[in-house]
Structure 1
């Protein structure tokens, strides 16, 4: 995966449409519906820490991990400004190596889609399973095949904010359901603009394939919902939320 060194500078400004407070409320509500005490929570692929902070403000004992040092630098600054002490680890999902186990893992805003091979998705799921306590939950969302094929596709998007003008160009690969994303940033520097670029891929997976990979990793696909709802996915759902569980240890297993 890319380190998103350039994207990190503009990420928050270009994602102002994301309501992190609403998403944090949703995940907290989802945990309540599962009757699962959040316990120690990992915000996996936490990016610039916006969701981590919202979860922390709701009383969760949470820390974050992300593969991008630049993203985490922004996250640390935001936590300090909010006077919140939050641990952030610079680790890719596929090589997650925690100090101990956790009770809940949350991975939001399509981070799973940034893993563009089934091997990497399985590696990430295995690391989550390794560090998730029995009975714990892994909640994540992801872009759907529909979104990759119909919404992202080969389209171009333009963003014009106070500090940056961004040209977002997509290239859809039908055989793999990958989208190549090329971002050109024109950041304001006085009366001039400085151009920088970022390129990465995202891949969409079917719910069936995700279920298979979760099972192989020792996790159970417990539920799947349309984004930020308790409703089942629709054919035109652009994002879905997956609920996976690490099953508790049985009495017979405890005896051995």
Structure 2
């Protein structure tokens, strides 16, 4: 999955996202594990809001996304903030992740991992490059959100010169949501259409994938309030710790 044309409107359409609260949660978890500097990877960095906040906090950030358009937005923001020199941007599929060395931790937010049909592979790749004691902080949409919130619903977003219609279809047999995004530019009359999927993973499946790849799940909470999970939580937020390196395993 790669947001293409939608990349340029992502921040406006995601305007309700509380990046400050997310950053505070991520930074507190990193600090609790003694990770106050070093290399972090943002897996599916999108337009880079969290990536750049962590870069400003002194981390050496690697922003990774499959969408060239998303990375262009990150690059523009980084230049405006004077952060270009301390930021590495890579256009990669997380199922074919290839870094140049090890990382102290990784973040992956706003349901990036739900877009991946092979969750085990994506987690294995993150584990491969992570140092022992490294922290993996990520969120994922819950089965409840896929079934009850997205479901068959349609959402419309209006901007000054553009209109975006976001349609969802949940397939219980395939355990995935088909999402179509249509963007119409009022001034030029241009129309763009994108389609992608979100895959449903249970808490037990996510935990099993982490444990299989050398992580210990330290905690999981509601990914919006950061309080306890409920039956109607729409997002999980995970904190997992790498308990051995690939070399030790071998």
| TM-score greater than 0.5 by the shorter chain | yes
Structure 1 residues 231 and 33 mapped into 2: Cα distance closer, same or farther (>3 Å)? farther
Alignment partner of 1:174 is 2:175:
no
* C-alpha distance in structure 2 between counterparts of 1:179 and 1:38, whole Å: 37
Alpha carbon RMSD of aligned pairs, Å?
A: 1.9
Between the aligned partners of 1:131 and 1:164, the Cα distance in structure 2 is 40
Matches within 5 A, 1:228-239: 228-239=224-235
SS in structure 2 opposite 1:48? coil
Structure 2 length normalisation: TM-score?
A: 0.92
SS of residue in 1 equivalent to 2:121: helix
Deviates more, 1:98-107 or 1:55-64: 55-64
Give the structure 2 partner of residue 124 of structure 1. Answer: 122
Mapped partners of 1:19, 1:230: distance in 2:
12
Asked whether the equivalents of residues 56 and 62 of structure 1 are also in contact (C-alpha less than 8 Å), the reply is: yes
1:93 and 2:94 are equivalent in the alignment: yes
Partner of 1:246: 242
**How many Å separate the matches in 2 of 1:248 and 1:157?**
43
- Structure 1: where are the runs of 5+ without partners? none
Q: So what's the TM-score if we normalise by structure 1? A: 0.90
Could you tell me which residue of structure 1 aligns to residue 59 of structure 2? Answer: 60
8 Å contact kept, 1:31–1:38: no
Q: Show the 5 A alignment for 1:177-256.
A: 177-189=175-187, 192-248=188-244
Distance apart, 1:47 and its partner CA: 1.1
- Higher alpha-carbon deviation: 136-145 or 240-249: 240-249
| Structure 1: distance between partners of 2:194 and 2:226 | 35
Specify the SS of the correspondent of 1:183: strand
**Structure 2: gaps of 5 or more residues:** none
Cα offset, 1:74, TM superposition: 1.3
Return the alpha-carbon distance in structure 1 between the equivalents of residues 164 and 58 of structure 2. Answer: 36
The Cα shift of 1:229 comes to: 4.8
Q: Count matched residues.
A: 246
Deviation (angstroms), 1:87 = 1.1
| Cα distance in 2 for residues equivalent to 1:52 and 1:42 | 8
How far, CA to CA, are the matches of 1:230 and 1:162 in structure 2? Answer: 33
Task: Quickly say closer, same or farther: Cα 1:223–1:38, change in 2 above 3 A.
Answer: farther
In 2, distance between residues paired with 1:246 and 1:201?
29
Runs (4+) off by over 4 Å: none
